[in-house]
Amino acid sequence: MRLSFFISLALFFTACKKEAAPTAPATDPVTANASILKAGLFQNGPYGTVMGKAEIWKDTTGKYEVVLDSFSTNNGPDLYVYLSKEKMPVNFIVVGKLKSISGRQSYALSDAPDLSQYTYVCIHCKAFNHLFGWAPLP
């Protein structure tokens, strides 16, 4: 009885384990025919160290992208990029799962965001609701 309990417990904890973000540097290409609308430097959050710049780009066809340039962060499980209305994301758009803990990376947005409302790019651990860092978009 005890053995089956411990086996079940071990399976439960290993099945729920979240993977850390990839460590190989991202090298997304420079966006063609686009211009930067907003940019800001990352600040450290309570659970991480984040460096680099967050940018919002718009191309000539009206498509938007969030670009992390010269980016690096410490690793963690279940890291996501959010476009948020506040530093600690409560009202946010999920931009995507973090591609890598370093390098230049871009994320296409499906809709045009209201950049007067969404004024932060956040690196956030979804599983534990931990803010790794944020960049203001003045």
Q: How many domains does the chain have?
A: 1
pTM: 0.83
Per-residue pLDDT for 19 more than 80?
A: no
Q: What percent of the chain has pLDDT over 90?
A: 76
Mean pLDDT value across the chain? 88
| 127 within domain boundaries | yes
| 2 within domain boundaries | no
User: CA 79, 81, 83, 86 torsion: positive or negative?
Assistant: positive
| 11 within domain boundaries | no
Whole-number Å distance between alpha carbons of 23 and 122: 19
Question: Structural domain of residue 72, as residue ranges?
Answer: 18-136
**What's the rounded mean pLDDT across residues 76-87?**
97
| 113 within domain boundaries | yes
Q: Which two tokens stand for residue 101?
A: 């803990």
Query: Left if phi > 0, otherwise alpha if psi is -120 to 50, otherwise beta: which for 33?
Result: left
Residue found under tokens 């967050």: 54
Q: Which two tokens stand for residue 36?
A: 């930067």
Q: Specify the CATH number for the domain of residue 52.
A: 2.60.40
